[in-house]
Chain A
């Protein structure tokens, strides 16, 4: 924390395989896996864990595992697989932010990918039995949140007064859950009941994301509304316009050919085209 790369719109184009998060660097192109991003930043001498003791580093590894195993799959389920949340919130949110024409395909593709991943991790038992899922997996996720709250206690960050990579990870998982307007928000309710975690997220938001006052998740549409900075905020605007025009043109031409309005006749046009030229040549010869 303390690195301030400029944040623009969150379009997955032209990111590798459409994955977020992604870091665009000057020397190494675009890096998309979180671990690779952390390694790159450490090479540039940005290391949030520099001051941690050996035990604290070990604790970091352990809590990261806890988050990834117990909380992350349930978060994915909440945002991407739970029917109500997906249709009313997530799909709409991504479709508004992703540029045309990918906004028709990408949210569904991501939904399928997440569903498949959860099916493999949890097995069909849990995916089909809503009650079992709710009872066991959501309970474990709620327990994970409670454990995080107990570990944080009344401290400002997990390891004292300055943030470390664990804080970044916890914040990245909790902030969307806290701020998103989910129609079906069981897990969200539990998070909101843990006051110290809510204060923790809010303080990090105000410290490190001050340009996103209020709801950070409506950032993209709001940015598009500000005049004068549109060109700076959207370097792909030209390309989007060109793409739209090309797609429109291709559609019109395609329709024209298919419906027979325009047709290419190779046999007659060729010789007919040449005839006037040959007549002129003969006239010239005659004149000479």
Chain B
């Protein structure tokens, strides 16, 4: 969105390469910066920013909505991948362990699962049922949909970091195949959100190779492009 030249590379050990253990991260010259917040700060320090045109109140709202997405959508995605037993067995374990030989694939994926479950317990999500999690996703999508309204972007004519973050999550939810379609159905209920995703995809990602990976905020898994 800033029109900076980038190359997206998928690596199985992306989490280990990252200085904070989290993806996404960028490698610029001899610097490595991870996580969305620091990346935005880094790019801003180099003179590129998407939110310069916003006033103070709008900036506050943007930050708040970004936290909402991190709090609800990201956590729901992690929950579904690592705490829903059916999904874990059939999709997550095979996918997470696919680059490694046996028994490393099982060991690493169990380790990751344990780590994620501990974190869920710390923030109080371990006791939630799948229905409650989907309800939270629905609430979050409703809030985003109401905020977006009929505008092309969240803060009217120009995209901001919030648009990028929301696109990243919603696109991943819409295009990743899981056991059931319940999660993507929640997003599809809001037509302005799906239109928003399509618009950004057409504007910023058409013309790239069909096999290239899109940047996802929580893991290094591959996702297929929206047909």
Q: How far is the CA of A54 from the CA of B140 in the complex (A)?
A: 13
Range, interface on chain B: 20 to 34
Range, interface on chain A: 20 to 34
Given A55-B147, A58-B146, A151-B57, CB of A65 within 8 Å of CB of B119 = no
Inter-chain contacts of A117 with B (CB < 8 A): 122
Inter-chain contacts of B143 with A (CB < 8 A): 57-58, 61-62
A258 contacts partner chain B, Cβ-Cβ < 8 Å: no
Q: How far is the CA of A61 from the CA of B69 in the complex (A)?
A: 10
Given A121-B119, A151-B61, A153-B57, CB of A66 within 8 Å of CB of B146 = no
Q: How far is the CA of A143 from the CA of B40 in the complex (A)?
A: 15
B217 contacts partner chain A, Cβ-Cβ < 8 Å: no
Which residues 115-140 in B have Cβ within 8 Å of A in the complex? 118-119, 121-123, 139-140
Inter-chain contacts of A116 with B (CB < 8 A): 122
How many A-B pairs have beta carbons closer than 8 Å: the answer is 67
Asked if A54 contacts B123 (CB within 8 A), the reply is no
Which residues 62-110 in B have Cβ within 8 Å of A in the complex? 63-65, 67-68, 70-72
Q: How far is the CA of A68 from the CA of B70 in the complex (A)?
A: 11
Contact with A along B42-72 (1 / 0, CB 8 A): 0000000000000011011101110110111
Question: Among A59, A61, A66, A125, which residue has its beta carbon within 8 angstroms of that of B63?
Answer: A66
Closest to B120 in A: A120
Which residues 56-89 in A have Cβ within 8 Å of B in the complex? 57-59, 61-63, 65-66, 68-70
Asked if B122 contacts A147 (CB within 8 A), the reply is no
B223 contacts partner chain A, Cβ-Cβ < 8 Å: no
Inter-chain contacts of B144 with A (CB < 8 A): 58
B142 contacts partner chain A, Cβ-Cβ < 8 Å: yes
Contact with A along B128-168 (1 / 0, CB 8 A): 00000000000110111011010000000000000000000
Closest to B71 in A: A65
Inter-chain contacts of A54 with B (CB < 8 A): 146
9 closest A-B pairs by CB: A120-B122, A58-B143, A62-B64, A147-B60, A65-B68, A65-B71, A66-B64, A150-B56, A62-B68
Add 20 more A-B contacts to A62-B61, A117-B122 (CB < 8 A): A55-B146, A57-B143, A58-B142, A61-B139, A61-B140, A62-B65, A62-B67, A62-B143, A63-B64, A65-B64, A65-B67, A65-B68, A65-B71, A69-B67, A69-B71, A120-B118, A120-B119, A121-B122, A125-B20, A150-B59
